[in-house]
Structure 1
């Protein structure tokens, strides 16, 4: 009679199996069942399948690794299928004005135990900020009515903090769980841009105001660390690099070249008060985005030397540190002109080489060298917002629909597949979607109503939690 394999030998053999084969092996006998259900085998299965996704982190929580594997597999199937039975859609109302921005305040993670939830905050012209449970379709809390309409917000999910700014420049930090006020700071003029940034030294807030100054504030205290001039008396837009080491600032349509600031010099100002920065050799810039899989790769849309054609130029940024100073190094990697037929109003990066542009109702993908990868004409009216993450792209449109696209990771060159449409409400009452955001288990869209107000419309994928 052939010798039987012991538990250690079985564990080694089973480590090469996929989930379906492990389940079949578990039916052979008691010993095989015990080995096939081992925590370490299912942990390795999860890591082998998802650890390299570069998406949201895996959080097992109170589940077993086997429960986690099947929950996430079910979620992937439903996200790819997009059938009506794969998600629950809810219209969530409460604001009496127009919703100007939304942000998820729950951590972006793949979690399927009893603590899994999706919470967003919204700001509105009705002078309130509100928090919503998307799965329940219910309001969690609403702030008191503020002195002026709220125009923007950013979230710090790990701190459970949301920061808002109103049309008069009043910045307030709110506790995301309860809605109680945490801290406040008032700008001398209205805010033109606000950006949440993380850093090895801790999170901070970047704010540009209408007079052209850039403020760096501590979080959650909202105390000023530094104040520097960017562009005089003009509205400035800000965006932080993926490694949080750089802040890009530009004034739309300005002849002045956009600036890039080294964040360490904003957090720890020098005695002379001058931050480490550089001006990029482009003019009349209108849009910019970072390549999410590179530390500091910046794509800038601008006009050519004659000011007649739109061009996208890509730079890599580095900081060279010496004993007593830091020098910035910007290397131009590529530059290409856009077709004259395109007038992009939205721009996002994917991976390290891909640029997504929304031009009217069309979604177009280019490489940083100008090769057009694909174009989609799924919407009947202009695209208003675009969400891009490592697994999906979601667009919102004035045609009252959201469109879901999925990346095909098996291809060497990124391939985006148009999958399905998520409809909004009735055209009788609604005028289209204006914003869209997503986390691992839900999609939230802002639906504008014909009477000038807005509602949230949530789409939560059905997963049988652990």
Structure 2
């Protein structure tokens, strides 16, 4: 839709058409916001915003008209992720006392007066990252850290709805869980493909594991710590603090899909000085967009065309 969404320190949400210097619409949340999620549904596009009070706002696009407001937690909503089929929205905070919740999106888009939206708390605290499986739309994998040693683990759930006693309830069935070895540096980012594998970084390395904890691949394409990872059903992108970008593709041969290393781009941009900030990259199967921030005052936007 050629639109971009931002939120400032005062909690004002804005939508931009990327051509005019003025925002198309604004919506005051009045609290700091740490999560934005755009959801393209059969009923149109919506924006979901999580704030520091634990509220989730659902707004129309591009008007930013309020549709619903739900109080999800006592703490900040740090994570918001819509499922690929737009049936669910996952919400969580990184506070250790928060249990993640999954909402039935239709209840947020068409709220019923006096009724709480259909939701389910997932019995796994200390969630620090989550991702839906692009090819298995009701499967979600959570990354969590627990204990004084902050051990990192992954747990995977399948979600479903069921009619019981004349009402609909959400059920979550745990299908796999495992802890990483204690010697591994705790990852920050993760991604998924077919629902049976997860990809994550650890230091300068990229790993591919099954959801049960079996290591399939390890890549050593970066010299410095991987600072950002982005994944969809086709590609995985990694960037490191030396401004290098590496591109991988999912391959479908054999029992499990695996990652194929495609290309490595060194020193993004003309400035060879390493960044003080982590570069970020995304891909749409036609092009790659990468943001490199050298300092607080300026960033470089780099675009690449993909050719196969």
- The TM-score normalised by the length of structure 1 is 0.61
How far did residue 433 of structure 1 move? 5.2
Distance change (3 Å), C-alpha of 1:297 and 1:306: farther
CA 1:412 to 1:176, structure 2 compared with 1: closer, same or farther past 3 Å? farther
- Alignment check: 8 A CA contact 2:80 2:89 kept: yes
Residue 86 of structure 1: aligned partner: none
Aligned to 1:163: 5
Secondary structure of the equivalent of 2:116?
coil
Residue 337 in structure 1 maps to residue 179 in structure 2: yes
**Mapped contact 1:399–1:432 kept (Cα < 8 A):** no
Q: Aligned residue for 2:238?
A: 395
CA distance in 1, matches of 2:286, 2:84: 23
**Within 5 Å, which residues of 2 pair with 1:80-159?**
157=1
Cα distance change, pair 222–323 in 1 and its aligned pair in 2 (3 A): farther
Partner Cα distance (2:274, 2:225) in 1: 19
Number of the residue aligned with 2:225 = 382
Give the secondary-structure state (helix, strand or coil) at the position aligned to 1:168: coil
Residue of structure 2 equivalent to 1:346: 189
Deviates more, 1:296-305 or 1:255-264: 296-305
Q: Contact 2:235 / 2:248 at 8 angstroms: preserved in 1?
A: yes
Alpha-carbon offset, residue 179 of structure 1? 5.8
State the match for 2:264 in structure 1: 421
- Superposed CA RMSD in Å reads 2.3
1:253 to 65, 85, 95: 95
Structure 1 contact 400–432 (Cα < 8 Å) conserved: no
**1:423-438 correspondence to structure 2 within 5 Å:** 423=266, 424=268, 425-428=270-273, 430-431=275-276, 434-438=279-283
CA distance in 2, matches of 1:323, 1:268: 23
Is 1:446 the equivalent of 2:288? no
**Quick check: 2:132–2:140 contact (8 Å CA) kept in 1?**
yes
Residues 59, 67 of structure 2: 8 Å contact kept: yes
Q: What per-residue deviation string (whole Å, max 9, x for no partner) do you get for residues 324-358 of structure 1?
A: 63210111111111111230100111122111111
Deviation of residue 219 (structure 1)? 1.6
**Which residue in 1 is equivalent to 2:32?**
190
**Which residue, out of 279, 282, 288, partners 2:130?**
288
Mapped to 2, the partners of 1:307 and 1:432 lie a distance apart of 27
The structure carrying a bigger helix percent of its residues is: 1
Distance 1:326-1:176 versus aligned 2 partners, 3 A rule: farther
User: What's the CA shift for 1:451?
Assistant: 7.1
Contact 1:354 1:366 in 2 (8 A): yes
CA drift of 1:164 comes to 1.8
* Secondary structure of the corresponding residue to residue 345 of structure 1: coil
User: Do structure 1's residue 355 and structure 2's residue 237 form an aligned pair?
Assistant: no
Counterpart position of 1:124: none
Please say if 1:205 is aligned against 2:47.
yes
Which runs of structure 2 are paired with 1:211-250 in the superposition (5 Å)? 211-250=53-92
Alpha-carbon distance, 1:200 to partner:
2.2
Contact 1:185 1:222 in 2 (8 A): yes
Question: Cα offset for 1:176?
Answer: 4.3
In structure 1, what is the equivalent of residue 304 of structure 2? 459
Rg larger for = 1
Asked if residue 412 in structure 1 is aligned to residue 255 in structure 2, the reply is: yes
- Which segments of 5 or more consecutive residues in structure 1 lack a partner in the other structure? 1-156
Q: Tell me by how many angstroms 1:442 deviates.
A: 1.9
Q: Counterparts of 2:295 and 2:283 in 1: how far apart (Å)? A: 25
What is aligned with 2:212? Answer: 369
Q: Is the 8 A contact 1:431 1:447 kept in 2?
A: no
1:297-328 per-position Cα deviation (integer Å, ceiling 9, x unaligned): 11011245888532211001112246963210
Give 1:418 deviation, angstroms: 2.0
**Offset of 1:441 from its aligned partner?**
2.6
Distance 2:156 2:185 in 1: 19
Work out the CA distance in 1 between the residues paired with 2:41 and 2:35. Answer: 19
Q: 1:428 to 1:255 in 2, by over 3 A?
A: closer
Aligned residues: 305
Shift of residue 432 of structure 1? 6.5
Partner secondary structure for residue 443 of structure 1: strand
1:104 alignment partner in structure 2: none
User: 1:197, 1:205 within 8 Å by CA — same for their partners in 2?
Assistant: yes
On the 8 A contact 1:168/1:190 being kept in 2, the answer is yes
Q: Secondary structure at the match of 1:265?
A: helix
Equivalents in 2 of 1:408, 1:462: separation in Å? 17
SS at match of 2:279: strand
Contact 1:392/1:404 (8 A) holds in 2: yes
Distance apart, 1:399 and its partner CA: 1.4
